[in-house]
Amino acid sequence: MRKTTTTAPVLIGSSRLSRRSQAPGAVRARRRTALGLSLLFFLVILPAGLAAWAFGVEPRLLTVSRYDLTLTDLPASWDGRVVAFFSDAHLGPAYPPARLGQVADRLEQEKPALILFGGDLIDSKTPLDSAFSEEAAAVLRRMQAPLGQFAVAGNHDNRLKAEYRHMKALLEAGGFTLLDNSSSVVDGLWLGGLAESYFGQPDIGRTYSPDGLIETSDEPGSRDGLFRLLLMHQPDYAAALPAGSASLILSGHSHNGQVTFFGKPIITVLQGRECPFGHYQPNGQTHLVVSRGLGTFGIAARFGAPPELVLITLMKG
């Protein structure tokens, strides 16, 4: 008897064919999902995160930049001393006195020999009421140095006579001496402060002359050859100064653009374009240090240009 077997018909690879037939649709769906997530990240999440940082985080920071400068004509008494420099507070709703208190806190820790301010203490948004002014002056009074506190005006301090008077009153109430085409001899160092160059009339000749001298402990005629440190709001104006005007110049004004692309300012300002931030030697001899400043103007944002306190250690070469 012949044994016969029967088998059910087999659809070879039917399940695989079915899966393969579905694969292109699944791949397309996954690609659409990935594209959607990428667009969501780059068009929504990333810009929102950057905006949150630029408007909400970075303007509230305080960075400290340190420079060690070797200067051949520095008086021996200044060798190793630290000069603190800050600029462009633009006091107001976006940079209230409480935030300026961060600078006062750090200065109390660092204990510099001299404290200098580079202008633009106020702007058009600064409240004029007595409560705000007293709060600001109280913070400034906390900034104390053995050899004094000095300042110059910025263009926002000097647009209107009323703004200039308000700025000057705040500085004086805070214990700062305003230098405006004037100077002071500080322990053998001739410190000058130049008028800002937008609305003022900078006069370097008067600044370093007997007419511009507001106080000195030196005898007449002993100022020849003194080391000159110059406060000047707009850094690019240094190119207009006669050679040898100062050995060290400190400026602000530029904010380093406030918003940068890999550290380079996207938008620059007049007389702050050539030297927006950092250390320069415009003629190979004079040292120019430009601060990013503290506050903001235009938009209350900073990106890649955080608020800055500068500490300079002077060394005799």
pLDDT digits (tens, 9 = 90+) for 172-192: 999 999 999 999 999 999 999
Q: Which two tokens stand for residue 147?
A: 């050899």
Residue-level pLDDT at 290 = 98
The topology (CATH level 3) of 62-316 is Purple Acid Phosphatase; chain A, domain 2 (3.60.21)
pLDDT digits (tens, 9 = 90+) for 115-128: 999 999 999 999 99
State the average pLDDT over residues 138-142. 98
Confidence of residue 39 (pLDDT cuts 50, 70, 90): confident
DSSP class of residue 94 equals S
Q: Residue 139: count other Cβ atoms within 10 Å of its Cβ.
A: 22
pTM of the model: 0.87
Alpha carbons 232 and 235: distance in angstroms, whole number: 7
Alpha carbons 252 and 254: distance in angstroms, whole number: 6
**Average predicted confidence (pLDDT) for the chain:** 90
Q: Is the pLDDT of residue 301 over 90?
A: yes
Residue 286's contacts (CB-CB under 8 Å, 6 or more residues apart) are: 238, 245, 246, 247, 248, 249
Q: Is the pLDDT of residue 159 over 70?
A: yes
Residue-level pLDDT at 268 = 93
Answer left, alpha or beta for residue 248, where phi above 0 means left and psi between -120 and 50 means alpha.
beta
Specify whether the CB–CB gap between 62 and 218 falls below 8 A: no
Q: Please count the helices (runs of H) and the strands (runs of E) in the chain.
A: 6, 15
Q: Which two tokens stand for residue 240?
A: 């207009």
